[in-house]
Amino acid sequence: MNFVLSGRELAKLAVMLVIATIAFGLSGLLMILIMQWMTLQSFAADAVDKHGIAEVTASRMGGVAVALGIGISLAFYLFFVGDVQGSLIQLKNGWAIWLAAAGCFFLGLIEDLRNNSLSPKVRIASKAVFMLGVFLLVPEIVPSYVGVPIVDWLLGFYFIALPLVLFFSIGFINAVNTVDGANGLVSGIFVIAYAIFTLEFSHITHPAGLHGAALFLIFNVISGRLFLGDAGSYGMGAGLLFSALAVLADGSVSLSFLAALYFYPCFDFLVSIVRRRRAGLPITAPDNDHLHNRLHRFYRQKVKSTNLANSLTGLSIACATSGVVFIVYLVDGISLTSHNWWFIFFSQAVAYGALFFSLRSKPIPA
């Protein structure tokens, strides 16, 4: 892959450089240039139309770009502030959390560099080992109460709680990877969630994570030449998961708040599983009939630019789901510990169903 920058691409680059520099200063400018360089390389190219959305050849090294962005941001914090306290989850054996997240990241990176080199069973088993290690070394992030009577009774027994949380954790990371197909979708949800976590729980997250993801979001949405890839979606999924478990376990947020905040990857994943089973397909079979696939087909009929249609798809869903939660949070409409977030969640589910069935369907590929 060797893109020659056209006048339009140069204009996009100029816009990205201006936005990133205004928002993040020198580190932002540097990261945009690095990401532009990544798109000019010949390795880790994403297949056209792999997700039923992408229509141009692009790099799958977005996860690496996010990691570099976080590293550069931490370096700037260290240089100007003198430390990076808060960049680690402040728990005993917290290093295990970072190690597991890194393990998920590199597991995805293997797939990005050598597509289909790992079977679904190997990937699931590997993630199970990473997650299990965290829950054994940091048992305090295994919730014992979520506000659902029957579930709370089960969570009261650690030997039951552990496999339940392990099962959910693996499913959640897979769900995030499954919905990674539209520009700004996963990264948009991540940025919104981490904006809330950074504002509310400085001991759990560090602004560097938000900076790295936001810079990728800018490049991904405007350029469309750099995708998260499996490394990015696994890494972001792990970051969202561990942050959520940490604040849920200590009672800082309610389960309903997290359900509304993470609505799209979780709900769409469940709908996709049901759809595949009804079609007689394995749950790991390819599926290009997600809501974002249907919405993208709608946008492609309305706009000429393939990248604009892609970005409108991802941003629309991220803003209409997690974005609504962020607005309610900003106006202090519902407490983070309240169970009233279920009203938001069920409203999201109704809107999802209405939009899904109103958009043109397409058979799941065998």
Q: How far apart are CA 162 and CA 157, in angstroms?
A: 9
* Mean pLDDT across 97-103: 92
**pLDDT for 2 beyond 80:** no
Q: Copy the structure tokens of residue 265.
A: 């990857």
Query: Does residue 94 or residue 106 have the better pLDDT?
Result: 106
**pLDDT for 136 beyond 70:** yes
* Mean pLDDT across 113-124: 87
**pLDDT for 288 beyond 90:** no
| Mean pLDDT for the chain overall | 88
Percent of the chain with pLDDT over 70: 88
If you compute the radius of gyration of the chain from its CA atoms, what whole number of angstroms results?
A: 20
The answer to whether the CB of 261 falls within 8 A of the CB of 322 is: yes
Q: How far apart are CA 360 and CA 293, in angstroms?
A: 10
| pLDDT for 317 | 97
- List all residues 6 or more positions away from 39 whose beta carbon is below 8 Å from its beta carbon: 1, 3, 58, 59, 223, 225, 226
Helix/strand/coil percentages in the chain, nearest 5: 70, 0, 30
pLDDT band at 8 (very low <50, low <70, confident <90, very high): confident
Residue 95 phi/psi, 5° resolution? Answer: -60, -30
